[in-house]
Each structure stands twice: as structure tokens, then as C-alpha cells.
Structure 1
Amino acid sequence: MKQFLTTMAGVFAGLILFLVGVPFLLIVIAAGATRPAPLPSDVVLQLDLRTAMTDQDVQNPLSGFGRRSNSVMSVIETLKRAEDDRRVKGLIVRLPETGMEPGSADEIRLALKRFEASGKPVIAHSQGLYQAGVVTSTYMVGAAASEFWMQPGAALQVTGLAVEDVFFKRFFDRYGVEPDYEQRKEFKNAVNGYLHSDYTEAHRTAQLSWMNSVYTSTLGFAAADRGVEPAVLRTRLEGGPYPAARALELGLIDKLGQLHDAQEAMLETAGDGAELVELSTYARSVGSSEGSGPVVALIEAEGPITTGRNGLSNPLAPSAMIYSDDVAQALYDVAEDDSIRAVVMRVNSPGGSDTASEQILAAVRAVKAAGKPVVVSMGTYGASGGYWIASEASAIVAQPTTLTGSIGVYGGKLALGPALADFGVDMRELGVGGEFAGAYGLGSGFTPAQAQAFSAMMDSVYAEFITRVARGRDLSPARVDEIARGRVWTGAQAKALGLVDEVGGLYQAIDRAKQLASLEGDIRLRRMTPHATPFQALEQALGMGAVSVKTLAAAAWVLGDPRAQSVLDTLAAERLQGQGHGAVLAPTPVR
């Protein structure tokens, strides 16, 4: 009977798959087969930064389905191709009204400056900049343009940088919730909101330190691009907020006008017959190209770091996750490929599982052992676990505002038993084996023996982290401990401390890889970022058994998909881990 029910459930899943999955696959296949319309002979590109941006392209085809988004990587790579395209006459950038992630803004600013250096104008248009998040980063991107326009009547509110944290201690005290956490060390403040009712001195010091560094950096670049002294620009901006007309009088922007006015001005400059084309449309039209010359691999990794494989652990989870199996395998593939001379690994991560981070770092070592340099390019984040996987790279390149370091660990739990007891809910636990077997139960805090064992584990993870950084950065463990202790640094600060080799973006990292591999001239940049296919992601999303897998395979065979049989042989699902591990995770800053 049980086998019959299992079979029927599989058949039912197969029918659902046929009715839902096959149309989905047809849509995906049709979208991939559709050829973009040919480009006009003269185009003005338009880049809209108001939509949500990831650092890298969506890796999970289901989680990204139906959503329009830009990625920093796609923007900068497309603009680089446009530099040498004679059809492209200029660029219009639509700015968001609030803050951008600082590292993303730094990378896009560099791309705009390279585009302008090729002799093509850039107009940045704003419908207002409002004091939310790191709005100075958005202003910095606008200041990098040839002309900075603002809509009449809009406001320019770029007066500083502020963050707001929530502290739960008094709430927990009132309702009997007991936070039981270990931190290594005093600057590892990700759980301070559970443990305190205000900033600790260390938390306040670290927070203000990276905020001042980001603020100073963004103002410095904006001032250089506007041709004024940083102190003058700072005084003017902090004297706001201003209406657009006043911002123009103060020289903070160049022109007032509607978006249509800016578009017409750029089209007039481009010449008769020029047409506006969205950057994403242009990217599809020109496609991608490896270039020519020796091969340098590009491997991208974005999001929290966890064990498992993309699309097979939880295909409907956010696409921005770093799955250690996938990234490690990509690195091992590079180590074994004789045609690849070097690797650039793009990292944009606040951290995650220590064991997953170590799996990736072991693969980095394998690439280096094969005689191939590994250069890490950091986006907005390269912190905690994100720094762990970079720590033994041949070189690390970070943006001046990248948040990195956070060399530390935390872990623990919230004991909810006392709070629930007040509402008549009692938590009881039974267990066999050693005392630590029930350590992660939420009914009560750690026992003294459990706390001692857990603390020893936190000490061990922290010591391992220190060892890897000391080895990778050629520093003494004592020096690493001095600048570690869980503290977040910006890329500019990390460079001075020896945690980063160079301040810059993706193309600076590529140049460093070429230098380390003794390569000259053009190179072929081969993207080896692991991606889940629509077929794999859909299969796992429906949780199919053998019968429904066969149904999908048959449907795929009808559609001519050669991957159908191979999926039958390679299906695997791994659960996310980490409940009992230390989390090497950095706090997330405001954007």
C-alpha cells in the first residue's frame, strides 16, 4: 500500500510537472532562442540604476524568473565592450533616489570613467537624492558623469551617512528570552542586538570607523570628479538639503531638466538618426566574447556561504548564495585545465559557514599548487567567511569602500523556554548520549558543561581563521589577532593593514592576475561560474521521486534536451548545514 501511494504521488507530481514544468521549459528555451533585433547604426545607451542590483548575474533560474534586475558585473562588462563599439555614441545613467551599496557604486564609477576616457559622453539624471542609506555613493556616481542633471523641483539631500540598529535586550528581559551567544572577539557584533540595549564601546568604534572611511572615500572621489576640494564639497553638501535649483547655484549639479530633456540633449550630440537603447538590450545584441589570447578563468561567488549545490538544496531560495560544492568544483576544474593560466575570483559575501568556507579555500590552494595564481576581486563585501575564502589567494583587490576583514566567529542560540512558559507553553527535552547532545535545544540556555564545550569550539574556529590569514598574508598570528577580533574594515583601511594588496575593481584584479601569470597583451576571460540549469532547478523545486523524474526526462527528450538522461544519473539533494557550526558572518551595513 505504501509503495502504491508513493507511486501515485510520483505520478501526480509528474502530471503537475508536465502541466507546469514543460510550459516553463518551453518559455526558457524560446527565450534563449529568440534573436534580439539588430541595433541601429548609432545608439545612445541608457542604464537604469533604480532597479535592485546584485553584484553578479542571477545563478538560480527559478528565483530570478520573472524579475528584471541589473548586476554590477553585467553592467561593467557591457560598458567595457561599448567603449570600442563605434555605434555607441554616449550613455545616459538614471540614478536611484536613495543610497547604493558603496562597493557597487565604486565599481560603476570606474566603468563610467573608462567609458568617458574612450571619448564618449555620459549624462547622469536624477529625480532627487534623498537622505537614506549611503546616498553619498549615489551622488558619487552622478558626479562621475560628464554632466549631472536633476529634475526641477527635486531635492538633493546628501548631508551625511547614518545607520540605525535595533537592540532587543530590554524586550528579551521583559519576556524572559535568554540569548546565549559566544563571540570571538569584542568587535564581532552581529548578535550585539540580542545581548545589549545600546552600542558597546567596541561596536561603536568599529561602526564609526568604517562609516567615516566610506564617507570620506565617496566624498573624495566626487570632489575629484567635480573639480573641487573635498572640504569644500563636504561643507556644501552638509549644509543641505537643497532644492534642485539651489544645488545648481552651488555647483553641486550641472543642469536642471526632465529626463526627456537629457535624452534629447544626448541624442542631439550623438547625431541624426541616433536612438536610445537600454543597456540590457545592447548586452543581448552584442552577446558575450571570451576575447583572444591566454585564458584567465572568472569564477563568481555572491551571498552567504553554505554547504551544498545551487538549485539542488533549495532552488526557490534567494539566488545570491555561495554553495561550497559548486565553487570548489569550479576551482578544481581550473586546476586541472592546462589551457587556463590564472583565476580571478569575484567575491561579494558577508560570510557564512566556516566549514563551507574552508572547503572553498582548500580548492583555492589546489589551484595555486597547480602553478596558477588566484586573484580575488571583492565587491561590496568580502568579510568574515568572505575573507576566509580569500585569505590565501595570490592577491586580493578590493574597492576602497568594500567591507572586509571581520576575522572572527560567533554562535549560540536564543533560549525561548522561560518566555513561552509565561504563556502556558512548556518545552521539555529528552536525549541519550553525551550531555552536548541537547546543547542546541531552545528550552533553556547552555549548561555549564555545554557552555564550556561550545566556547572551546568557538576558540578553535577563531584560531583556525587566524592561522589561515597569517599564512596567506605573511603576517604573524599575533599581528593578525591584533587587527582581527571580528572587526570590519573598509578596503582602503585593509590595504594599509596588509589584509588587501590593491584598491580597485574587477579589471584591476584581471591586470594583477595577468602580471602574476606573466601574461602580456589580450587575454581570454572565460567565465566558469557554476549555474543551476532550469531543468535541474525545476526538478528539485517539485521534490520529484523516481516516477516524476522519468516523466520529466521523457518530456525533456521530446523537447530535444540531451541533459535528461544525465540528470537521472546525477540527481542529488543536500541539506543546508550550519546549525552546530560557528558562523563566520559579518553584520550587514546600510545601503
Structure 2
Amino acid sequence: MKQFLLTMAGVFAGLMLFLVGVPFLLIVLAAGASRPEPVPARTVVELDLRQEITDQDRANPFASFGQPTLSVMRIITTLRKAETDDHVRGLLVRLPESGMAPAMADEISDALRRFRKTGKPVIVFSQGLYPSGATPSTYMLAAAGGQVWMQPGSSLQSTGLVSEDIFLKRFFDRYGIQADFEQRKEFKNAVNGYLQSDYTPAHREATQAMLESIYGTAINRAAADRRQTPATLKASLESGPLMAEDALRLNLIDRVDYLDSARKQLADRAGKDAVFRDIGAYARSVLDLGPSMGPAIAVIAAEGGIVTGGDGGANPFATEDAIYSDLLEETLNDAVEDKDVKAIVLRVNSPGGSDTASEQIRRAIEGAKSAGKPVVVSMGPYAASGGYWIASGASAIVAQPTTLTGSIGVFGGKFAVGEALARFGVDLRQVGVGSDYASAFSLGSGLSDTQRAAFARWMDQIYARFIGRVSEGRRLPVERVEAIAKGRVWTGAQARELGLVDQIGGFYDAVDRAKALSATNQELRLKWMVSESTPFEAISRMFGISATSARSLAATAWILGDPRAEAILDEMAWSRRPAGSAAVRTQQLAP
């Protein structure tokens, strides 16, 4: 017995060493490796957009292990610092070969235009732009940089914008899987892929209008930067695919040459012994400088799906962040209690999530406003559905013209897999007590007529509550909100015309708005208040998982028996919400 206990103690000690000691060592080594270095006297900052880009810095301390990411917020704040840094003599931007999320491109484009006004040289270099996602927005970003170079023999294929959706109804019918959902209302298309075999008229109308708005923004902004009419630029781009040499002839780019030539030109402009410094390394050297005391605007980040509670059930190695209602409420309350904070900028990038979590956060925003601290929401690529529920209570909303917002609607339901399992000799049976509704969200069969009627009434109540919150927060008549809601996604430009957004602009425009709303004439610094876990808190969550989600996922995966189903199942199980809960979430447009 003694030997057994000693063995178990050893196993436990080894496990703890692996789970705690190894990550801790990695963090210490990473911290030492990333110690800031002085900025050389003649520095050219290099911004490589070919890597994965998030809107905000990852809150999860383990999310980026093995796959470094760069955030839009890190880029624009670093470029703002580089504008006035005499050590920085130029900027080299490397374009991705595929599309970027349109609002990300808008935000970075604004930063490039501002940087160019300093007179410091900028070269945007491309090895080709291919029709994968929102390439017009990527070309717009290139045009904002001034000089656009392309490698000889590369291709410019930015001929339009297409959204392609997968519809699974016939697939589900074949395998006996029933997607049983309620939507409020006809434009709430997040689950249409499970319910339909093609676009509904409303789905097609909203998607077409959204694409036209995004495309129009990209063309108009790029045309202004290239000093062409939108019609001329549009015709040139749509005449593609173009080789780099053709793009030069059409005045879409400025030079056909290689990367080493671009580097040499920037180095010559910078002066003798010029050094190229990656934007991440440069950021570590300069962004911590500045006052740490005095009146401030609190900056709070919120990115990902919206879920209730803290982050106690999250996977510490997940590659995507989430907005935890308890954590964000706590951070907002901290800003309220901080006597230095005069206003708050809440950066939101979210396709939505739990209605109750969204309401919890909205109430915290109302509390901040009641305490005399205005809250300005700066919208990233997405602030839709639950993300808009949060934003609707703000003092003001600032969005990029291509931000996807609105989606004022709700959906809920389940997947019934009883028939599919029966085909393989697996039978689901139940025993229960209480009303008929107790079994509404079992896996075996779809909703009965009485269950559906009760569920539909509940969905109507949530939708009405959402409408009411938007009406109250935006000071719009309920009838007006009902007319523009219906689950429809709008771009920021469209939302501004509808009264859902106050101003078109980026993060620093939201900062200026917050300064204007604060009751002070003092100079205000930015105070970043981060809702995140420590590495040890992340480790402690390692084994958290939703039993309901796991059960549904395992059953469906067993039926399909195909690794390609993983991508489909990932969207089905996007949150930790319990069966039967409502979701205020919108469909996302792939970059």
C-alpha cells in the first residue's frame, strides 16, 4: 500500500511538473527572449500582414504558442508611436496573397494614410493578390500606403467580391439528421446552412447588399488614394486577372521589382547603417513608454463569442478568444471605480453569443454611464447580434464602413440524431418527470407541436427584449427598430444611415469621441485595462468541457464517420450554451 501511494504521488508530481512547470518555463524563456532592445537610430519598421491577424491581442496566454499572431490594435497603436519617433525613417508593408477581413483592412489603411502624412517613405510590397476572400479590401489597403510594388511575374486578381455558403439540408436528410431551429426573423441566417438547400430570398438580398457595400467602400477609397475615378479603377481591376506588368500599365501599382530592391530603396532613404525592425519587436521597445498616472480614458478589449460567467470552463489552448460576461463586467466596474478614468472606449469584435451574457454586459455599460463615465464602443470587423446588444447601450458607437453589425435577432434549436443512430442499430430511450417540455431538447427526435409552440413563444419574448434594448439605447421608436431589425446584418456604412451607428471611423476616432464626451478639459492618456487569465488560471481550466456539447458532438461525429465533418461540427458546437438556450449570433464572412 505504501509503495502504491508513493507511486501515485510520483505520478501526480510528474503531472503537475508537466502541466505547470513546463508552461511556466516556456513563459519565462519567452519573456527573456522578448526583452525590449533599444530602437536603432535609423530604423525601417516592417509590417508583415501575411501571418494570422486578430483584431485584438490574444487574452489567452497559451493561444499563440507555435503560431504567432499579430493584432490590428497592436499595428495601429505601434504605427501611431512610429509617426513621432525620429528613429523611424520608413515603413515596409508585406501584403498577404489572399483577402483580409474588410474592417481590418479599413483600420490599418487609416493608420497608413496617417503615417504617410509624416513624409516618411512607405512601400507596400506584394508577391501577388489572388481571388480568395475580400481581396478588394486588401488592394485598398495597398493603395493607402502610397507606393505599391509587385514582384515581376506576380498576379493581381482583385476582380470582385463573392460570399459562398455551404447548405447541408440534403446532406442531413440523407443521414437522418434533423436540424430543428426557430429564427427571429427572416434575415437571421446564421443557421440557414442547416435548414436550407439554397439561399432564401431574404438571405440572398442581405448578402448581396452587404457585398455591394463592402466592395463599394474598397473601390472608392482605393480610387481616392490612386487619384483615379472609382469607375476607372473598378474597370481596370475587373479586367483581370492581371500580371504585374499589366497592373503597372493601368496605374494600379507603381513599380514592378523585387523585394530586395524595395529594401534597398528604403535603406538608402533611411541613411547609413539602416536597420529593419519587425513591428512586433519595435512595439516591445516603445509601447510601454508614457505616463502611468493622471486622468485617462480606459481602453477595454472584447473579442470573440459572448458566453456567461468567467473563463472557468474554457480550453487554455483554444486558438480563439471569448468574451466572458463576468470578466468583462468586472473590468468595466474597475474602470468605474478608478478615479483617474474619465471615459471608456470598449473595443468590440464579436459575432454574438448568449443573450443573457450580452444583457449582463450591457447593464454594466449602463452602470458606467450612470456613474458619469461615458462609454464609446469602437467596432472591429464584427459587432453583430449579441455584439450589437452590448453596443446598443453605449454613449456612442463608432464603426468602420465595412464593420458587420446589426443582426438584431435571435435563433435557437437543436439537432435530432435519433433516426440517424437507429440506422446503425443504436437506439435512444428516455425516462423523465415533469412537463412535456422537459424532453424538448433531447437528442432523439425533433420538437413536438406543443414543445415548438412553447419554444416559439419564448423566442418571441427574447426578440422583443432585444428590440426594446436597441430602442432604449439608440433612442429610436420601437416600430423603427422592428423595421430595420429582423436579424439583418448591415455594414457600418449602412448602419450609420439607419441610426444604428453614430460615426464612421476607427479606434482613434472612438478615443476622440470619448474625450469629447468626458466632462474634462484635461489631457487624457490611454489606460489599457485587460480582462484576461494568468497562465496558471489557464492551466487550471485545462480539463473543462461541456458534457452536453460533447455528447451531441460525439453522436453526430460517429454517424458521419468522416474527418471532413469536423469543420461542420465546429460551428454546430460553437459555444458552451446549454441545450434549449437562445443565441444572438450572426453568420461570419470569411476574410
Match of 2:66 in 1: 66
Letter in 2 for 1:23: V
Trace 1:352-371 onto structure 2 (pairs within 5 A). Answer: 352-371=353-372
Aligned-partner Cα distance in 2 for 1:206–1:542: 40
Aligned-partner Cα distance in 1 for 2:13–2:577: 29
Which has the larger displacement, 498-507 or 420-429?
Answer: 420-429
Match of 2:233 in 1: 233
Match of 1:560 in 2: none
Aligned-partner Cα distance in 1 for 2:167–2:85: 53
Q: Does the aligned pair in 2 maintain the 1:153–1:245 contact within 8 Å?
A: yes
Match of 1:22 in 2: 21
| CA deviation profile, 1:476-531 (whole Å, cap 9, x unmatched) | 11110100000000000000000000000000000000000144463211111211
What is the number of equivalent residue pairs in this alignment? Answer: 558
**Helix, strand or coil: the match of 1:389?**
helix
Aligned-residue offset at 1:432: 1.4
Aligned-residue offset at 1:339: 1.8
Answering whether residue 250 of structure 2 is matched by residue 250 of structure 1, we say yes
Aligned-partner Cα distance in 1 for 2:199–2:326: 38
1:290 to 1:491, Cα distance in 2 relative to 1, 3 A? farther
**Helix, strand or coil: the match of 1:281?**
helix
Aligned-residue offset at 1:169: 1.6
Aligned-residue offset at 1:105: 0.4
**Helix, strand or coil: the match of 1:22?**
helix
Aligned-residue offset at 1:542: 6.2
1:338 to 1:246, Cα distance in 2 relative to 1, 3 A? same
**Helix, strand or coil: the match of 1:162?**
coil
Aligned-residue offset at 1:250: 0.5
Q: Does the aligned pair in 2 maintain the 1:62–1:538 contact within 8 Å?
A: no
Aligned-residue offset at 1:290: 5.0
Q: Does the aligned pair in 1 maintain the 2:156–2:241 contact within 8 Å?
A: yes
Match of 2:348 in 1: 347
Trace 1:324-343 onto structure 2 (pairs within 5 A). Answer: 324-343=325-344
CA-based RMSD? 1.9
Aligned-partner Cα distance in 2 for 1:310–1:254: 49
Aligned-partner Cα distance in 2 for 1:151–1:196: 44
**So what's the TM-score if we normalise by structure 2?**
0.91
Aligned-partner Cα distance in 2 for 1:38–1:333: 34
**Helix, strand or coil: the match of 2:209?**
helix
Q: Does the aligned pair in 2 maintain the 1:55–1:379 contact within 8 Å?
A: yes
**Helix, strand or coil: the match of 1:228?**
coil
Aligned-residue offset at 1:118: 1.9
Percent identical pairs in the alignment equals 52
Aligned-partner Cα distance in 2 for 1:186–1:473: 23
Letter in 2 for 1:208: Q
Q: Does the aligned pair in 2 maintain the 1:294–1:519 contact within 8 Å?
A: no
Aligned-residue offset at 1:10: 7.5
Letter in 1 for 2:89: K
**Helix, strand or coil: the match of 1:587?**
coil
1:8 to 1:289, Cα distance in 2 relative to 1, 3 A? farther
Q: Does the aligned pair in 1 maintain the 2:314–2:542 contact within 8 Å?
A: no
Letter in 1 for 2:113: K
Aligned-partner Cα distance in 1 for 2:258–2:402: 32
1:5 to 1:133, Cα distance in 2 relative to 1, 3 A? farther
Trace 1:162-561 onto structure 2 (pairs within 5 A). Answer: 162-289=162-289, 291=291, 294-310=295-311, 313-520=314-521, 522-541=523-542
Match of 2:567 in 1: none
Letter in 2 for 1:491: G
Q: Does the aligned pair in 2 maintain the 1:312–1:537 contact within 8 Å?
A: no
Q: Does the aligned pair in 1 maintain the 2:295–2:522 contact within 8 Å?
A: no
**Helix, strand or coil: the match of 1:65?**
coil
Which has the larger displacement, 313-322 or 347-356?
Answer: 313-322
Aligned-partner Cα distance in 1 for 2:19–2:430: 43
Match of 2:96 in 1: 96
Aligned-residue offset at 1:398: 0.3
Letter in 2 for 1:132: S
Aligned-partner Cα distance in 2 for 1:195–1:30: 50
Q: Does the aligned pair in 2 maintain the 1:311–1:532 contact within 8 Å?
A: no
For structure 1, list consecutive stretches of 5 or more residues without a partner in the other structure.
544-574
Letter in 2 for 1:434: S
**Helix, strand or coil: the match of 1:86?**
coil
1:89 to 1:519, Cα distance in 2 relative to 1, 3 A? farther
Q: Does the aligned pair in 2 maintain the 1:312–1:536 contact within 8 Å?
A: no
Match of 2:120 in 1: 120
Q: Does the aligned pair in 1 maintain the 2:392–2:474 contact within 8 Å?
A: yes
Aligned-partner Cα distance in 1 for 2:576–2:523: 41
Aligned-partner Cα distance in 2 for 1:358–1:142: 39
| CA deviation profile, 1:150-208 (whole Å, cap 9, x unmatched) | 00000000000011111112222333322211000000011111211111100000000
Aligned-partner Cα distance in 2 for 1:256–1:422: 61
Q: Does the aligned pair in 2 maintain the 1:372–1:517 contact within 8 Å?
A: yes
Aligned-partner Cα distance in 2 for 1:473–1:418: 46
Aligned-residue offset at 1:40: 1.4
| CA deviation profile, 1:33-88 (whole Å, cap 9, x unmatched) | 45333221110000000000000001111222232110000010011011110000
1:522 to 1:112, Cα distance in 2 relative to 1, 3 A? farther
Match of 1:154 in 2: 154
**Helix, strand or coil: the match of 1:276?**
strand
Aligned-partner Cα distance in 1 for 2:492–2:230: 20
Aligned-partner Cα distance in 2 for 1:298–1:8: 50
**Helix, strand or coil: the match of 2:93?**
strand
Aligned-residue offset at 1:316: 2.5
Aligned-partner Cα distance in 1 for 2:127–2:582: 44
Aligned-partner Cα distance in 2 for 1:7–1:466: 62
Q: Does the aligned pair in 1 maintain the 2:78–2:287 contact within 8 Å?
A: no
Letter in 2 for 1:223: A
Aligned-residue offset at 1:312: 5.2
Q: Does the aligned pair in 2 maintain the 1:403–1:489 contact within 8 Å?
A: yes
Which has the larger displacement, 293-302 or 8-17?
Answer: 8-17
Which has the larger displacement, 37-46 or 514-523?
Answer: 514-523
**Helix, strand or coil: the match of 2:140?**
helix
Aligned-residue offset at 1:6: 11
Aligned-partner Cα distance in 1 for 2:530–2:412: 30
Match of 2:85 in 1: 85
Which has the larger displacement, 575-584 or 530-539?
Answer: 575-584
Match of 1:57 in 2: 57
Letter in 2 for 1:533: T
**Helix, strand or coil: the match of 1:541?**
coil
